[in-house]
Structure 1
Amino acid sequence: MSITSNLVLAGRRRAISLIEGVLYLVIALAVIVGGIVFFQQSQLSNAVTDTARAAVGISSQARALYQNQTGFGVNEDLTLAMIRAGAVPSNFIDRSGDAMAHPFGGGMAVTGNGRGFVIVYSDISQAACLRLASIDETGVGPMGTGIVGLTISQSDPVDPTSAPDINGTVTADTMSTSCADGAEMAVYYAQNPGAKYDAPPSPFNTDNPWEYPYPKVSLGTQ
């Protein structure tokens, strides 16, 4: 075999080796990217699950703590009371020990208003908002039971003394334009965990937001 033939064969082997190397590199990068995406999705899923579980627990404990009272106060900040009562999971208490925080990096607050209370989540991610902001026709959602409405704000802080912007059945589709990274989400709960949204009588007292929309009909009476 001539020297020229040997050189040609060696060149071909190097070209094949180079192509194989590039293919191996592409496959390795695809595996790495896939692993990162899977890890991120897993983290998001865990954070959403933790947030939903905490909301269910906090709302249940709030009702239990105030079950022998006529209401939850008038624009009453219940955050510290819930922490000191042991109603808030330890991973939802910030370093100060006197405030609440959620896994997406923002703060939380619990506010009592008459016959209901509101849990506000500041600076929540769009992905989390879309997964958490849903309510079925019975007032049940990932965040608990007896939910009468939601307010999502992309700019101004939510006023928990105001009536919720969204009530009735809420799905991810209906929230797609409302949820955004950094938004504030307020979940409105009724005192009765078996209650659901009920259309207000007309006329209603606009000076008392909890007259509208306050769930006056219990599922047990349906």
Structure 2
Amino acid sequence: MSEEAFKNVQVLRGISVDQFLGTMGFFAASLSLNCTDCHTAESGGSWARYADDTPLKNTARRMVVMVNSINKADFGGERKVTCYTCHRGSQRPEVTPSLAEQYGTPPPEDPDKIEILNANGANQPSAEQILDKYIQALGGAQQLAKLTSFVAKGTYTGFDTDFAKVPVDIYAQAPGRRTTVVHTLAGDNTTTYDGQQAWVAAVDKPVPLMPLTGGDLEGARA
């Protein structure tokens, strides 16, 4: 749990380490900040220093309580309001409408926009239906069953490599087992899925072996 892996966790308790780190990333994206903006500059080289309190951390704690209260009171506990609802990439939410935005040319739609769908929403295909359609496009389950394992090599780029291309190795075996090793400049980042559970071992993680849960586990399974 987050409070076991980190010190001075006051609000985001009782969640897994990967969910805790994902929440930190969501904060950063919602306000266009990075880790050391809310934490101390020294925390960049020390996990222990992330426990130090700062004014922004204390504000974030109050905001988490506020958002949770709104969702609980007005939306039945569903996550309808988040940091991004008001901040939109800015540290200070705008309170006055922009006439330039109102009367100007609307900005183009973001092709990578992610919409959180209600799990009970009508007319939405299930994940199983989408995967079944994909399997059929590949020739059907019977054809794919002939493939029991594979090894692949390629390149990977992402925020954890400063968007530089690095080598990646993938090892897969039916039914559903897979290991991905990203060879970053700082060291290997290994993700393993055994068909039911998944783990990450990486030099930039706060624990030697981090179990994946929730959406991270779904991502490892995909």
TM-score class, shorter: under 0.3
Query: Could you say which structure has the larger radius of gyration?
Result: 1
TM-score in terms of structure 2 length: 0.20
TM-score in terms of structure 1 length: 0.20
